[in-house]
Amino acid sequence: MFALRIYVLFLLLQCMLTAKSGKNSRKHLNDEARLLMTLKRILHSSPNEVRPVHNSSKALHVTFGLALSTIHGMEEISTTESKLTASVVFFYTWSDYRLQWKPENFSGIDSLAMPVDMIWRPDIILFNNMETAMQQDMHTQAIVSSRGHVIWITRGQLTVIAEKETASWWSDGQWEAEFKFGSWSYGESRIALDFYDGRQSMDLSSFRSKSFSVNKNHATKNVKYSLCCQEPSIDLTFNMTLLQL
């Protein structure tokens, strides 16, 4: 009888606890929704097509990084060239002064996942893509901090020409490929582009392939004047060599 009473008490306590935590999580959800609505309202009051800087004469700092996931295809075009298709993960960071809030007003929430198509995004493209548009998943969320710092990690596919280096007696030959990224419409004074996390190479920590291994992997930042524009433009170029296994 005593044991039964203890058991009933235990059940009751458990019920109360779940009810409490349920209420808490609902409250938390409401705060997230309230925060999202607040940010949406702020975003609606200014155009999303212009760079999110207070002063238009200032550059917006954007960082960009690349992780190689896998090699999808290596299609021969000629004896020296192949069409290389790679799955990658893109890393972006920037700041948007409009996306700021006081965490204490939203029960301590200090970061929020937001659909990336709701916010401004840097127009970084792969200049030497073989296809007209770079394939990038736009249905991912960006993580926004209460100080307006945005991190966006998404995935996509890149297609470039890889050049075959002639085989020698010690190897079957290898491919050299280059991925040149930059802002499509902004020069150095508008978008100050740099490497994500200061990393001057592709991240290979999640690279899986049964057919290829990466031999060399290095990236450079280039600032160049081109015919079109008065101000220099920045590109981040990732070079790698692939060895057939």
Residues that bind ligand NAG in the complex, under the rule CB under 6 A: 55, 57-58, 102, 104-105, 163, 176, 178, 220, 239
Sign of the alpha-carbon torsion through 36, 105, 120, 178 = negative
Q: From CA 179, how far away is CA 129, in angstroms rounded? A: 8
Nearest distance from residue 101's CB to ligand NAG, in Å?
8
The stretches of 177-218 forming alpha helices (DSSP H) are: none
Nearest distance from residue 10's CB to ligand NAG, in Å?
40
Q: Are strands 141-145 and 81-100 parallel, antiparallel or unpaired?
A: unpaired
- Report the residue number, 5 or 102, with the smaller CB distance to ligand NAG: 102
- Report the residue number, 176 or 194, with the smaller CB distance to ligand NAG: 176
Nearest distance from residue 90's CB to ligand NAG, in Å?
20
Nearest distance from residue 140's CB to ligand NAG, in Å?
29
Q: Which two tokens stand for residue 20?
A: 């409490």
Side-chain-side CA neighbours of residue 210 (13 Å):
0
- Report the residue number, 121 or 164, with the smaller CB distance to ligand NAG: 164
- Report the residue number, 163 or 188, with the smaller CB distance to ligand NAG: 163
Q: From CA 241, how far away is CA 235, in angstroms rounded? A: 20
